[in-house]
Amino acid sequence: MSGANIDNEVYIVGGGMTEFGRFDGEDQELAEQAMREALADCGITWNDVDFAVGGTNGETKPDNMVARMGLTGLPFITVKNGCATGGVALMTARNGLIAEGRDVAVVVGYDNHARGAFAASPARYGIGGWYGETGMMVTTSYFALKIKRYLHEQGIDERTLGYVSEKAFDYGSAHPLAWRRKPVSVEEALESDMINAPLTRFMFCSPDAGAVALVLARGKRAFELCENPIRLAAVELRGRRPGSFEVFSPWLSPGERTSPSIDAAKAAFDAAGITPDQVQVAQLQDTDSGAEIIHLGETGLCANGEQGAGYLNGDYKINGRLPVNTDGGCLANGEPVGASGLRQVHEVMRQLQGRALGQQVPNNPRIGFTHVYGAPGISACTVLVKEGANS
């Protein structure tokens, strides 16, 4: 067991996840399914839970899940933080266990989005109506502009976008809970309908439905509930600073280029005492193919400009140097906002435990990393460690 004081260590001991895709029922039906699967995964019941946190980007209130799970009187906190909702919910549950000296917590994220692009009002983000009139509230425009600039600055071939999509749909085709399970070739991705140049239809994710739940346990209790608990070595959230260029915050001030993803990743690695080159499996926000390319550089998992060669060499595939988005990521799973960040953690947890639902990373990986990013410029990152990795 690592750490001088095991009582202050928090571990993931169970997980549950629904299929991602279209769903005709209520979103809290999905949440209940994921929560009950997570509890069963570590052999406990709702009565054993001391603390709960739930997140969604929809209209329902996660804390009302007690009506479905049981009126045990436990504190249930609701979180809503855009695409970082899952990461913030996880951080809240971890911190709650430590601060309040509790033993077991459940964290759940879920959503059931309508078809089509997300609709948002400029006023909600403190922007004038002119911004919507330019078309930039449609996020495909923003992401296309951002990756176009990045590829140009770093000298990366636009064909790299096709390699990202090919990898994602290959992983998705092998994962039983993924939404998109049909492989897509590099050429198919490049030649599909253009949405916003250089990004095509197979280079974007879509809003959909899904739920993920995790069970956390503190200290020795974790080893009573799970043969192979995964230590939550770090979970960090950061917002934007001057010099960032973000969703619904598209301006650049002179001077240093910054990013909440750079800051959150660095904070997570520093807190865990781990460097990016030690990561053996990773999940990165891939709202579009370009986002994965950018976030590889921003998180320090590779040097800026080296991504093109990395995809050509197969570095990010299952037998490569660093398998990335091994369940297909957002491209293959869609993005039910509240569930997306927890899906990442669930996938890395199972990879480190050697029980992946899809393609299993070989050679007994012990250190994993997850990253989410969203409007108006926030990022949450985690470092997960299979016990014994750095002891």
The pLDDT tens digits of the residues spanning 350-359 come to 999 999 999 9
Q: How far is CA 125 from CA 20, 113, 165, 247, 375, in A?
A: 28, 20, 30, 10, 9
Q: What is the reported pLDDT for 342?
A: 98
The pLDDT tens digits of the residues spanning 231-262 come to 999 999 999 998 888 888 767 777 788 999 99
Q: What is the reported pLDDT for 389?
A: 46
Q: What is the reported pLDDT for 388?
A: 61
Q: What is the reported pLDDT for 386?
A: 96
Contact between residue 284 and residue 325 where contact means Cβ atoms under 8 Å apart = yes
Looking at the chain, how many residues does it have? 391
Q: Where are the alpha helices (DSSP H) in 195-322?
A: 220-225, 260-272, 289-298, 307-313
Q: What is the reported pLDDT for 96?
A: 95
Q: Where are the alpha helices (DSSP H) in the chain?
A: 27-41, 66-69, 85-100, 129-133, 139-154, 160-173, 186-191, 220-225, 260-272, 289-298, 307-313, 329-333, 337-353
Can you list the residues of the chain whose pLDDT is less than 50?
A: 1-4, 389-391
Q: Both tokens of residue 41?
A: 């995964």
Compute the C-alpha angle 284/288/291, nearest 5°.
Answer: 50
Domains of the chain: 6-115+208-218 (3.40.47.10)
| Sign of the CA dihedral running 8, 370, 340, 87 | positive
Which candidate, 191, 145, 143, 187, places its Cα nearest to that of 291? 143
Q: Both tokens of residue 321?
A: 């140097």
Distance between CA atoms of residues 10 and 232, nearest Å: 6
User: pTM for the complete prediction?
Assistant: 0.95
Q: What is the reported pLDDT for 118?
A: 66
| Distance, first Cα to last Cα, the chain | 7
